[in-house]
Structure 1
Amino acid sequence: MADSKISGKVVEFRGCDNLVIAEVTADDKENEYTAGAVEVLAPVATVSKTVDNSTETHFYDNTGMLNIRSEGSDEVTLTVPVLSLIKLAKLIGKTVDEETGAFIDGDAEERYFALGYRLKLTDGTYRYVWRLKGTFSIPDETSETENDGTDTNNQELTFTGIKTITVFKKDNKRAKAVVLDERDGKCDLAKFFDKVQTPDTISALKKSV
């Protein structure tokens, strides 16, 4: 009889922090992928990711023999405090008048960002994430009348992540994200958020002699 016990430590997600962005400055077949300086986006309360995918089964001889899977974009939902107008304008490609500070809600400029964050696990370790290319949707804003209670409203940002056009040398593929788990103990994570990490820039831990 096979052993039914699950080996290894069971962990769950319990926390998130270090929400950062960097604007994607190049991503095409002629140039390598590049991104600008990393900057803090906002304190973060929740991070939630879903993947747009579909699977279709093909039948032969009255039997399902082949699954065809299609993987689309990632959707990352972030709960954050109310952003400044300057930060909001940058994320969604709008403008702020320098003289008056007025947010001008006109035509949007197409801007792509890389998104980084950490997810804390119940054993105290972290999962490190860089999503390499995506856009932010215009967030909804809700504010209710003030009363004697303690209710307030924050903002919810939606980041839609897609694959890069750039094909990385590491595995000769395009990529949507680089995700590393501290528990594996294989990668040098000390400067993970100093710049956007790609499959070609992540570094393995140096083995002691």
Structure 2
Amino acid sequence: MSKVVEFRGVDNLVAAEVTKDDNELEGGYEVGEVFSVAPVAEISKTTETSSETKYYDNLPALVINSEGSDEIGVTCAIPDLATYAKLVGKTIDESTGAMIDGERDPKYFALGYRFKKTDGTYRYVWRLKGMFAIPDESSQTETDGTDSNNMELTYTGISTTHKFTKGGKPAKAVVVDDTETSKCDVSTFFDTVTDPDTLKAKEMLIAKIDEGKVDESVVG
């Protein structure tokens, strides 16, 4: 019987502004510094998909599939005001620290996080390009109970314009399972945004490739 594993934990919610995304082979995808968003309670993903069956000669002949954007739902503690303003495209008055809730200047961000699994391993994720919606906010009077309100962020993830060398295509995300047999080095996964071309193999595997003991194609 195959090993049964489920998700049971989430942490390390971070983001970085996408500062460049174009078709240039060199430097076509660039990001700013990684910053912490907020302590996270839950993350969910829904992918927009559609399919249609085509009929010929009174028979189903083929199915046309399409894949759209990803909607990432993030339940988290309330971000500090500067982080919140950055994510939703509002202005912070540097002299007072107040947010000026005026016209938006929304930007694209990469979004990173990891899921913990029941076997103690992790799934590492960088979503490479997307935009945050303005979240709903609510609070209520204090009572003798324990009720409180967190925040739900909605991030719409799309594919990059830039075509990465690995795969030769745009990408929406990099997803790595860190297991005993994993080939990827995740020790610095969240230090910067890890994209398909900056994803690194473990040093031991690289050494074996250099020695000709492992085909380089197994890494990409």
What TM-score range do you get, normalising by the shorter chain?
Answer: over 0.9
Post-superposition shift, 1:99? 2.0
Q: SS of 1:188's equivalent? A: coil
- In 2, the alpha carbon distance for the partners of 1:204 and 1:8 equals 26
Matching residue's letter, 2:146: T
Q: 1:181 aligns with which of 158, 177, 180?
A: 177
Q: After superposition, what is the alpha-carbon deviation per residue over 1:49-105, rounded to whole angstroms, capped at 9, x for unaligned?
A: 000111111112222221111111001011111122111110011101122222111
Give the 3-state SS of the residue equivalent to 1:115 in structure 2.
strand
- Give the equivalent residue in structure 2 for 1:21: 15
Tell me, in whole angstroms, the C-alpha distance in 2 between the residues paired with 1:165 and 1:74: 16
In structure 2, what is the equivalent of residue 3 of structure 1?
Answer: none
Q: Which residue of 1 aligns with 2:69?
A: 73
Verify: 1:201 aligned to 2:198, yes or no: yes
Find runs of 4+ consecutive structure 1 residues off by over 3 angstroms.
none
| 1:130 shift after superposition | 0.2
> CA separation in 2, counterparts of 1:191 and 1:33?
19
1:109 aligns with 2:105: yes
Q: Secondary structure at the match of 1:87?
A: helix
1:4 counterpart residue number: none
Q: Once the two structures are superposed, what CA deviation does each residue of 1:103-132 show, in whole Å capped at 9, x if it has no partner?
A: 111111131110000000000000000000
Q: Give, in whole Å, the separation in 1 of the partners of 2:6 and 2:61.
A: 35
The one-letter code of the counterpart of 2:200 is S
Structure-2 separation of matches of 1:182 and 1:63: 45
Q: Percent identity?
A: 59
**1:97: which partner in 2?**
93
Q: Which residue of 1 aligns with 2:153?
A: 157
The yes-or-no answer on 1:12 pairing with 2:6 is yes
- The Cα offsets for residues 15-65 of structure 1, whole Å up to 9 and x where unpaired, read as 000111111111012351011111111110001000011111111222222
Q: Please name the residue that 2:126 is paired with.
A: 130
Q: Quote how far apart the aligned CAs of 1:14 are.
A: 0.3
In 2, the alpha carbon distance for the partners of 1:186 and 1:96 equals 42
Q: CA deviation at 1:8?
A: 2.2
Give the superposed CA RMSD. 1.3
Normalised TM-score (structure 2): 0.89
1:49 aligns with 2:54: no
Q: TM-score, normalised by structure 1?
A: 0.93
Q: Which runs of 5+ in 1 are unaligned?
A: 1-6
Alpha-carbon distance in structure 2 between the residues aligned to 1:146 and 1:11:
40
May I ask how many residue pairs the two structures share in their alignment?
203
2:74 matches 1:84: no
Residue ranges of structure 2 left out of the alignment (5+ in a row): 209-220
Separation in structure 2 between the aligned mates of residue 60 and residue 105 of structure 1, nearest angstrom:
56
**1:165 Cα offset (Å):** 0.4
